[in-house]
Copies of this chain bind each other. A is one copy, B any other.
Amino acid sequence: MTAGPDRAVAERLDAEDPIGWLRDRFVLDDPGLLYLDGNSLGRLPAATVTAMAVAVQQTWGHQLVRIWQEWIDVGQRVGDRLGQALLGAAPGQVAIADSTSVNLYKLAAAALDARRDRRVVLTSADNFPTDRYVLEGLAAARGLELRLLEPPGPDPIDAATVAPHLGQDVALVSLSHVSYLSGAIADAPAVTAAAHGAGALVLWDLCHSVGAVPVELDAWEVDLAVGCTYKYLNAGPGAPSFLYVRRALQERLRQPIWGWWGQRDQFAMGQAYDPEPGIARFLVGTPPVLAVVPVGVGVDVLAEAGLPRLRAKSVALTGLTVDLWESWLRPHGFALASPREPSRRGGHVALGHSRAYGVSRALLAAGVVPDFRPPDLVRLAPAPAYTRFVDVWDAMDRLRRLLEGGRHLLFDEAPGRVT
């Protein structure tokens, strides 16, 4: 075992951190807690406390239905801010609505209906479960083949991974941009171009990307995307999702859930469904107004620092994690399950261990919040908005110590619901 970087190294990185002040935008009333689960549930921005109180007491309680006109397009307005700040998407292409799973369903169905002459849906065998299940259901209902490509281990999916599976029969390629397991960043522009070359449409899941890594949907000529807002966007548990549909495609696609929020001139309440021409045609029901408020705050908080600085700090934080893994954890049987090359690694580091579940529980007991993903991964996500370098150092130090003491062996090994 090598010594690894000294804590003074982490302290110096914090002192030099150009966005260290961003941490003060968050509620941190648990000074001893080392929270490395920002890719599961992000922390609470202080501004959200005020914004929610205002939304509940003023907007709802006082204005009541009279302010409804201002809420009607809240999903599109916050979507536009998100698109411009973090997705490289010009206005009119992003909306906040529904859950990620429902948005996946709507957009994948719309794509399959636009490629009715093709019978294959392509995804990866290790895509996030809800992505696989939603696509499986759509394929089953339409009698299509769900083709699963084998992921290239901890390496990112690129054009070469996808190419052998592309052909004139592929209607839709649906992948996660950042793997929820390895954190590897797929080569989205190259995969998108390869899919387009075969005549397929492309749907990216950005759940583990948005707010963590550079995303340029317009420049990459992405067709469709969805993502969640409760991870790096810090919009709260179960916050509504976002969807992106490239402007040029909007009028050519129709999603299957014909709700009144997609209807042209909806309050005329006309007899037949006639969808809006723009992004609103991908909406369904009444927008979850109160739940959209924290999404707007979450976007604004990250926009204040800007994605380039967030990403630079994230790379440094995960880099320190990898360095400490190598020095301290590798000798204890931990494998690096994330790409070593920083440019290929998203916001979290996955470490494989045969007793990963017990390690996760022992870490929780030691005041470090990681997460566990079956069968054998511990994920550590040092979200750059509020995580210090010393937090990473201290968390890894606690992990090293509990391994040395064998405390992880005290915890039940049956995989449970540690999310």
Contacts and interface: CB of A to CB of B under 8 A. Distances in A.
B419 A68 contact: yes
A66 B236 contact: no
A269 B129 CA distance: 6
Interface stretch (A45-53, A162-170, A317-325, A404-412): A45-53
Contacts of A415: 267-268
Contacts of A18: none
B62 A30 contact: yes
Given A60-B44, A133-B263, A134-B259, A102 B237 contact: no
A9 interface: no
A40 B65 contact: yes
Contacts of A132: 271, 273
B57 A273 contact: no
A410 to B, nearest CB: 19
Q: Interface residue tally of chain A, by bracket?
A: 35 or more
A152 interface: no
Contact of A62 (B29, B290, B292): B29
Given A52-B52, A52-B56, A236-B56, A129 B44 contact: no
Contacts of A417: 68-69, 72, 267
Given A37-B64, A288-B240, A134 B258 contact: yes
A43 interface: yes
Nearest to A416: B267
A237 B289 contact: yes
Interface in A57-105: 57, 59-62, 64-66, 68-69, 71-72, 98-102, 105
- State the oligomeric state as a number of copies: 2
Contacts of A72: 417
B369 A267 contact: no
A291 interface: yes
Interface stretch (A279-287, A336-344, A388-396): A279-287
A223 B236 CA distance: 34
A49 B256 CA distance: 37
A130 interface: yes
25 contacts: A27-B62, A29-B61, A35-B64, A52-B52, A99-B285, A99-B288, A100-B285, A101-B261, A102-B284, A128-B260, A130-B259, A136-B272, A137-B257, A137-B273, A141-B256, A236-B289, A237-B286, A237-B290, A238-B288, A238-B290, A267-B374, A267-B416, A267-B419, A269-B374, A290-B290
Given A98-B102, A132-B273, A136-B272, 18 more contacts: A37-B65, A40-B65, A43-B61, A71-B238, A101-B261, A102-B259, A105-B284, A129-B263, A130-B261, A133-B262, A137-B256, A137-B273, A236-B289, A238-B289, A238-B290, A267-B374, A267-B416, A288-B288
User: What are the 3 tightest A-B residue pairs by CB atom distance, in nearest-first order?
Assistant: A99-B285, A137-B258, A101-B259
